């Protein structure tokens, strides 16, 4: 009999403690963590993947080279274009010819003034100067065009290296060394878990309407400590049939804890009054 009374008293105390905890914690909603960014990266052109610089699970930094295509042919083409773009010797030769034509014009002008040259000879000398100026300009224009072609080729070479656009983690290597990069599918997938997002899909609309972007809620992993998360998205369309409206929270994750995990989101008492 005493044992039964003791067990009953223990159950009452446990129930009271649970109710007290519920009052202190308020309403609890379930949420699921997700990456704040997920990048499916593909090469812009086909080519053999010559080098994979990372492994699945590696932490990467912005602009870090992840994969590289075989660029030997394109690099040789770039080398040739750079040589072709260097028109400095041609331009110097054309400018020297121009200087010579100007000297010749001065001589013809003097002879013409002294009646020692005809008007036709003077005109011919003037046209030679005009033509020499045009040849210098054409050479400079060709140098500009060739330089642009070399710069374009440099861009092509640069695009044969696939860099990480964010600080994140390699989720998956879709392709490996020796395979031909497919422009229609990713070669590698990068996720950013710091910060991470928390999606709460089943929040009653009446409660969701009490929140606004920038509000802070408390979140914890099962049996973990409460930590702050900020609302960065209130779904623009509620589910009228289900009577729910989803919200998205953003939370710091400096330890790069995996995403896709279930968490608890505490709804403050002030928001719960919307259901009463």
Please provide the average confidence, as pLDDT, over all residues in the chain. 90
Average pLDDT value for residue range 20-31:
66
Cα 167 from Cα 158, distance rounded (Å): 20
pLDDT in tens, 119-162: 999 999 999 999 999 999 999 999 999 999 999 999 999 999 99
Instruction: Identify the bridge partners of residue 266 per DSSP, sorted by sequence position.
Output: 28, 218
Has residue 18 been placed in a domain? no
User: Kindly report the CA angle at 15 between 10 and 18, in degrees rounded to 5?
Assistant: 125
Cα 43 from Cα 269, distance rounded (Å): 51
Number of domains comprising the chain:
2
Domain boundary among 111, 127, 158: 158
Give yes or no for a cis peptide into 111 (omega within 30° of 0): no
Domain boundary among 137, 158, 179: 158
CATH code (residue 219): 2.40.30.170
The SS3 of residue 41 is strand
Domain of 83 in residue numbering reads as 72-158
Q: Which of 247, 253, 242 is nearest to 267 (CA)?
A: 247
What is the pTM for the complete model shown?
0.73
26 confidence band (pLDDT: 50, 70, 90): low
pLDDT of 12 reads 36
State yes or no: pLDDT of 8 exceeds 70: no
- Number of helices (H), then strands (E), in the chain: 6, 11
225 and 264: one domain? yes
Domain boundary among 136, 158, 180: 158
């Amino acid at each position: 009999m005493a044992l039964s009374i003791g067990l009953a008293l223990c159950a009452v105390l446990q129930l009271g403690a649970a109710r007290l905890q519920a009052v202190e914690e308020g309403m609890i909603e379930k949420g699921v963590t997700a990456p704040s960014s997920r990048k499916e990266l593909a090469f812009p052109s086909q080519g053999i993947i010559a080098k994979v610089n990372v492994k699945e699970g590696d932490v990467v930094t912005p602009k870090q080279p992840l994969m590289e295509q075989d660029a030997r042919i394109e690099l040789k083409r770039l080398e040739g274009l750079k040589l072709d773009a260097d028109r400095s010797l041609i331009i110097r030769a054309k400018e020297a010819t121009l200087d010579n034509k100007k000297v010749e014009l001065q001589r013809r002008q003097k002879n013409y003034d002294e009646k020692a040259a005809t008007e036709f000879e003077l005109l011919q000398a003037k046209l030679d100067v005009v033509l020499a100026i045009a040849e210098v300009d054409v050479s400079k224009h060709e140098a500009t065009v060739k330089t642009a072609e070399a710069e374009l080729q440099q861009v092509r070479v640069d695009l044969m290296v696939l860099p990480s656009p964010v600080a994140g983690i390699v989720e998956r290597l879709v392709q490996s060394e020796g395979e031909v990069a497919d422009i229609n599918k990713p070669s590698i997938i990068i996720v950013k878990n710091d910060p991470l997002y928390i999606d709460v899909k089943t929040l009653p609309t009446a409660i969701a309407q009490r929140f606004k972007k920038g509000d802070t809620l408390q979140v914890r992993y099962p049996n973990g400590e409460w930590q702050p998360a900020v609302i960065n998205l209130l779904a623009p369309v509620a589910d009228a049939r289900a009577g729910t409206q989803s919200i998205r929270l953003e939370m710091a994750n400096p330890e790069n804890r995996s995403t896709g995990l279930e968490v608890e989101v505490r709804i403050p008492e002030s928001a719960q009054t919307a259901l009463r």
